[in-house]
Amino acid sequence: MQPAYNITDVVAKWHPKLPICLLQLESQERKKKIKKITIFDFRGKNPSFYTETFEHGDIINICWDPTAPAFAAITTQEGSGITLNSYIIGTNLVKDKSFSCGQTTRVQISPQGRFAVTDDVENDCNLVQFWDLQTGKIGSQEIDGVKQVEYDPFGIFVLVCAPKNMYAIYMFDGTIASLPNRNQQNLSACMWRPYNINEVSKENIEAIQSKEDEAMKKHGSIGIMDPKLKDKQMKEEMILKLKKYEAIMEKIESKDKFLQNKPVFFQIESSLNKEQIEMEE
């Protein structure tokens, strides 16, 4: 392990399901305060560690993805303002995505992964933002007096509570799931009741699934995929597209008249790379 010198503050956060520990460090180096994220990965025979340094910035908040070796962090860096960053832990620590997120001090990742909400309730900010960590911000709501934002145990709904005023339930993408309940007298806080599937009626289950399916059509399947599995799938998709291209080529080559009269254009697109193949006489 790497020795740590001049550490002035440290916060440790274990992954909820994996043997990975995240340390949020502050050190004094050359008369400057340096913030670092250090990961200790104990999944292999020999522990691995990785570090991300914020020499001219700060680490505001960090949240583990409960479904994968990944986490999200709200950070500041000189010249880029406040950003929401997603990291993946594989053979090293990789910053996967980064999005400008304005005035936010807290991030929560859905129990199902991939989606997140950010807020700044500590500083009485009324803005709640909804994120797809693969594509960016997908929704936002301004709620006067908001003090509590919380995912339900399945990660489908988000409960937003403004004490002495109202509470409301949103879908994971920020669309309203139930009309706000306003003028709640003596309301101080809200919380989700643990689910017992046997107590939920068939009609309610179907209604929930219908809302989830409708929202997911815009965003794809829930969950951050393991990086190796994701890379394998991308390669398989590329191979499949190349095979389809070869099959089309064979058909076209058998039609000489068609080739003599018209140019043919093909385009192969994949998340690995984009290549345009143009055939002209």
More confident residue, 269 or 163: 163
Average pLDDT over residues 72-81: 85
Give the domain-ending residue among 186, 216, 246.
216
Assess if residue 60 is contained within a domain.
Answer: yes
Assess if residue 221 is contained within a domain.
Answer: no
Tell me the pLDDT tens digit for each residue of 172-197. 888 888 767 766 667 778 888 876 65
Is residue 169 domain-shared with residue 274, that is, in the same domain?
no
Is residue 208 domain-shared with residue 270, that is, in the same domain?
no
Q: How confident is the model at residue 37 (pLDDT cuts 50, 70, 90)?
A: very high
CA-CA distance, 229 to 150, in Å (whole number)?
30
Assess if residue 2 is contained within a domain.
Answer: no
Is residue 150 domain-shared with residue 245, that is, in the same domain?
no
pLDDT of residue 52: 87
Phi, psi of 180 (to 5 degrees): -55, 135
Residue 229 has pLDDT above 70, yes or no: no
**DSSP label of 121:** G
69 and 18 Cβ atoms separated by less than 8 Å: yes
Tell me the pLDDT tens digit for each residue of 151-161. 988 888 999 98
pLDDT of residue 183: 66
Helical segments of 178-226, H only: 202-216
Is residue 146 domain-shared with residue 48, that is, in the same domain?
yes
pLDDT of residue 281: 39
For the record, the structure tokens of 150 come out as 């919380």
Residue 97 has pLDDT above 70, yes or no: yes
Give the domain-ending residue among 216, 244, 260.
216
CA-CA distance, 67 to 224, in Å (whole number)?
7
Is residue 42 domain-shared with residue 143, that is, in the same domain?
yes
Tell whether the torsion through CA atoms of 27, 30, 32 and 38 is positive or negative: negative
Q: Which domain holds residue 259?
A: 227-279
How many domains does the chain fold into? 2
Is residue 92 domain-shared with residue 183, that is, in the same domain?
yes
The residue whose two tokens read 């080529």 is 249
Assess if residue 89 is contained within a domain.
Answer: yes
Query: Is the pTM value of this prediction over 0.75?
Result: no
The CATH number covering residue 149 comes to: 2.130.10.10
Highest mean pLDDT out of 44-48, 239-243, 252-256 = 44-48
Tell me the pLDDT tens digit for each residue of 100-153. 988 888 999 999 898 999 998 888 888 899 999 988 999 998 888 888 899 988
